[in-house]
Structure 1
């Protein structure tokens, strides 16, 4: 997968993750893209544990779904870390 496709899929995954999770996430477009890209890496690595065929960076519908799930997990972790830091 090319870098442009990785950025576009990261943007889409980040936007979907932010739309799914309720609450206020004060992120711009670049932070949303980075969120989706990190989520794509997390989701791709988790997905590769269950699927052994093909290359790791092939674009598949299941990979896009795992990218969104990974972005949601990363967004939850960032939100939890931010809340813990404010209350401490």
Structure 2
């Protein structure tokens, strides 16, 4: 049980770091919350883990150098997609 709690906390921290790095690397002002940044970072970490496993440079259960690089790239892409989607939505009243 304790191991699962530590893994979840680590996943949240890594997701936050990846999301913040993506925001720093993407030029311009991003109009998303820090919560969404963490969620995008976690999603990017999952995507990168799957890709790293498929190409044989890592595992979904561990984050190594290539997995981290792929996660940051995936986070920048996800950030761009979310931003473009938010610009298309009409403002709420």
Unaligned runs of 5+ in 2: 1-5
1:40 shift after superposition: 0.9
- TM-score, with structure 1 as normaliser: 0.80
In the alignment, which residue of structure 1 is the partner of 2:7? Answer: 2
Runs (4 or more) in structure 1 with deviation over 3 Å come to: none
Backbone CA RMSD of aligned residues? 2.0
Unaligned runs of 5+ in 1: none
Residue 44 of structure 1, aligned match among 46, 49, 52: 49
In the alignment, which residue of structure 2 is the partner of 1:64? Answer: 68
Larger-gyration structure (1/2): 2
How many residues are aligned here? 85
1:27 shift after superposition: 2.8
- TM-score, with structure 2 as normaliser: 0.77
The structure whose RCO (Cα within 8 Å, separation 6+) is larger is 1
